[in-house]
A and B are shown apart, each in its own frame.
Chain A
Amino acid sequence: MKIILEQLLNGLTIGSFYALIALGYSMVYGVMKLINFAHGDLFALGSYLGYTLLVFGSTYVTVTFGIWGGMIAAMLIAAIGIGIAGTLIERIAYRPIYSVGRLPAVVSALGASIVIQNGIMVVWGPRPQAYPSQVVPSVMLNIGGIKITLLQVIILAISFVLMGLLYYIVQKTTFGAAIRACALDRDTAALMGINIETIIFFIFALGPALGGMAGVMVGMYYRKISFTMGWNYGLKAFTATILGGIGNIPGAMLGGLLLGVLEMLGSTYISTAYKDVFVFLVLILVLIFRPRGLLGEKVAEKV
């Protein structure tokens, strides 16, 4: 029982990374109907930005902001930096080709992804980098016999706060209503006086910013980052998006958390080597029996 609960917590930790990245895919897809293949690499770039701050600016940051300041500063820098990078990519690679169709945008996104990935390689070098070990004091907590590290608690707390915040913005505020209106029907939303440009700008800033923060947390959790990791996490997060129902924000959160838990349980009870196979099999089975994803709404076919 204890093992199951501990694995569940581990799974939730990984799942919260997937969920944060998946939110970016889902938001962009919801409004633009575009799979932002560069998103995974933006996440990796965020991880590297946080790494640079923690390694080269650590003494200055710690002196100014205290022990916890390092982590918070790294996440803020990553969020801001990646938010800007996301909007830049939208301006350069996607905006000129929206009108033409969806497929050229896919290739453009793949191109942007290759550019970011190799850009990271040129700047930080092809070898994997190691995050500093003591960003958060490594304390093992024991809650009723269940062991969990302080870092995991912090990661879970930050992720859930971020997801709650996003959920609040999208579901409860006027701005969120505008985003949802755009996702339903962009042209009609524009006729109702919603500024589409602003919405697109925020979508491409918010989504990647969440991904960038997830990047810093992944760096702190696994401590090893590499320039190719964007593909792996991006693929998993995209899977999570589809699992939950693409374009659906609570769906992306649920899909991400579920995927993390499935992966952990799969590696504990089935086989570590086949854990990814297990994840993709579950995805395919879900899609066979529920083609719109878990929380996706059934959309009537337009004739």
Chain B
Amino acid sequence: MKLNKNINQKNSIFKSWLVILIAILFIVLPFIINAYWVDVLFFFGIYALLGLSLNIVLGEVGLFDLGHMGFMAIGAYTTAILNTYFGIPIMILLPISAIAAGAFAWLVCAPIIHLRGDYLCIVTIGMGEIIRLTLNNNPFGITGGPNGVFGIDFPSLGSIFVVDNSTKFYYYIWLIVGLTIIGLVNLQRSRIGRAWNCIREDEIAAEATGIDVRYYKLLAFVLGAGLAGVAGNVYATKLMMVSPESFNFMESCLLFSIVLIGGMGSIPGVLIGSAAISLFPEFFRTFAQYRMLIFGAAMVAMMIFRPGGIWPRKRGAAEFKSLLMKAGEENG
């Protein structure tokens, strides 16, 4: 037992050094690589944020959500419309987008939260498609139809701190991702995080122990949607425009894959998964039209050889029994 404890302590010291090392790497990286790769890493950050947001719903609570891009679309369009029509600054719209997406999730998910597994899955797909199609049809002439909304401002605080080039955008998104990770790690260790995991492992047992399953599931959806709304806000300001095709079903599927490739409920896993999804096509750019073919084949191979994900979370590994045996004592 004592030996085990020592190993755990060493492990955690090693882990904190690793985290610091990676943080330093992310800070110095823009000075080493060229502007193109800074942009690639920016989109890696967007995917990481989206992956973390879906991880709350799918990874922590185990709810199948294949329409997550819809929430991002709500955030992005809230930002785009309020900024271009009313000139509200982006920084004020950042929390507003999150609240709008969260409120929308609450409204839509409250009546359907009792559905299970695949039924919830198809309803979220339907919801995502309804959002995309509605934006595409230009309701009340405010979403600009298939062309979208143009001319969104840069994020700024006063006139000194303006995020207006690739490097600044890179720091901006990774600052948000970093803060999100700190928040989520604390959330995982809290009463809420344990309740979520309990629901994922056995919903009936969770209910029997007095966890308000409905409340915690809705909370996960609202928080996940809110984070996706933040990602939508940053995405809209970076591209300076939004269009409905950025939020299609395929993208939602990619997000779903990010969480599963990384490892359900595991934050480092989600980061690795989003790196795989966003960087892989870039590295294989030389293969041109074959790269998506390779990408799909890699997804299949990945699941065959590591079905639990690249970096499975120890507490989340109960369903993968062999992994649990290797992982040993719980210290998630």
Contacts and interface: CB of A to CB of B under 8 A. Distances in A.
Nearest to A228: B250
Interface stretch (A5-13, A48-56, A103-111, A186-194): A103-111
B105 to A, nearest CB: 14
A76 interface: no
19 contacts: A37-B253, A104-B260, A107-B302, A107-B303, A111-B257, A111-B297, A111-B300, A114-B293, A118-B290, A118-B292, A121-B289, A235-B249, A238-B122, A238-B125, A246-B119, A274-B134, A280-B129, A288-B112, A301-B204
B107 interface: no
Interface in A14-69: 29, 35, 37
B222 interface: no
A221 interface: no
A284 interface: yes
Given A106-B256, A111-B297, A283-B126, A100 B320 contact: yes
A67 B137 CA distance: 43
Ranked nearest first, the 4 interchain pairs of A and B with the lowest CB-CB distance are A111-B299, A114-B296, A115-B296, A280-B126
B122 A239 contact: yes
B114 A291 contact: yes
Contacts of B125: 235, 238-239
A267 B103 CA distance: 30
Interface stretch (A91-99, A127-135, A160-168): A91-99
A92 B300 contact: yes
A154 B114 CA distance: 43
Please indicate which of the listed interface residues B121, B123, B249 has the most CB atoms of chain A within 10 Å of its own CB. Answer: B123
B118 A274 contact: no
B129 A122 contact: no
A116 B114 CA distance: 35
A242 interface: yes
Please indicate which of the listed interface residues A104, A116, A231 has the most CB atoms of chain B within 10 Å of its own CB. Answer: A104
B299 A110 contact: yes
B111 interface: yes
Given A119-B293, A235-B129, A108 B303 contact: yes
Contacts of B122: 238-239, 242, 283, 287
Contacts of B115: 287, 291
A37 B118 CA distance: 12
Contacts of B116: 291
A143 interface: no
B118 A246 contact: yes
A114 B299 CA distance: 9
Determine chain B's interface SS by DSSP, over half rule.
helix
Interface residues of A, number: 47
Interface of B: 111-112, 114-116, 118-119, 121-123, 125-127, 129-130, 133-134, 136-137, 204, 249-250, 253, 256-257, 260-261, 264, 289-290, 292-293, 295-300, 302-304, 307-308, 319-320
A277 B130 contact: yes
Contacts of A116: 296
Contacts of A280: 126-127, 129-130
A274 B137 contact: yes
A239 B66 CA distance: 13
A273 interface: yes
B303 A277 contact: no
A303 interface: yes
Contacts of B126: 239, 280-281, 283-284
Nearest to B260: A107
A116 B299 CA distance: 13
A119 B290 CA distance: 8
B300 A93 contact: yes
Nearest to B137: A273
Contacts of B292: 114, 117-118
